[in-house]
């Protein structure tokens, strides 16, 4: 039996495409997130499109079916997507977040929905991607904690 190596998020971010999930359900690729220091942990969580263990162990040959990507999403959205205690029913999730859960989590047992790699014609800056979010207070707190 194979043991899954520990997840090192900075390596995951460096080796995969990074996307941001907007409140209106749009997924946009961001190009200036290169480590966990480049996004606000008070508001956002990094989510693996293909569950980490399935990707690393290449369960059911998943690496030949799709590309791994990291999706930055609000903490509440992540809880509604994956936490068994807070997970929303599919229709409620779509109603609130304007995106299907299947577009955010690859299910290796359902091969009927294989997403193609997301390609943008022009890069967008991370700051532009989050222009509707005010992180100034939280970022200050984050900086203070980091410098302790």
pLDDT tens column, 24-57: 999 999 999 999 999 999 999 999 999 999 999 9
Q: Which of 54-68, 71-85, 125-139 has the highest mean pLDDT?
A: 71-85
Q: What is the DSSP letter of 126?
A: H
Write the DSSP assignment of 62-121 as a string of letters.
GGGT---EEEEEEHHHHHHHH-TTTPPPHHHHHHHHSS-GGGTS--TT-TT--PPPP--S
Domain regions of the chain by residue span? 10-146
Task: Say what the alpha-carbon torsion angle 115, 11, 81, 54 is, to the nearest 10 degrees.
Answer: 60
pLDDT at 93: 95
What is the three-state SS of 13-41? Answer: HHHCEEEEECCCCCEEEECCCCCHHHCCC
* pLDDT given at position 111: 55
């Amino acid at each position: 039996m194979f043991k899954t190596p520990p997840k090192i998020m900075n390596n995951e971010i460096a080796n995969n495409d990074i996307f941001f999930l907007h409140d209106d359900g749009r997924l946009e690729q961001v190009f200036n997130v290169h480590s966990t220091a480049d996004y606000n942990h008070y508001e956002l969580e990094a989510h693996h499109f293909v569950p980490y263990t399935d990707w690393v162990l290449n369960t059911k040959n998943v690496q030949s079916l799709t590309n791994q990507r990291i999706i930055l999403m609000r903490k509440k959205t992540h809880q509604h997507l994956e936490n068994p205690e807070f997970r929303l029913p599919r229709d409620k999730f779509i109603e609130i977040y304007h995106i299907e859960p299947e577009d955010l989590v690859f299910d290796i047992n359902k091969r009927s929905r294989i997403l193609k790699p997301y390609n943008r014609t022009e890069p967008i800056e991370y700051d532009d991607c989050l222009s509707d979010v005010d992180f100034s207070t939280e970022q200050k707190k984050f900086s203070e904690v980091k410098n302790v």
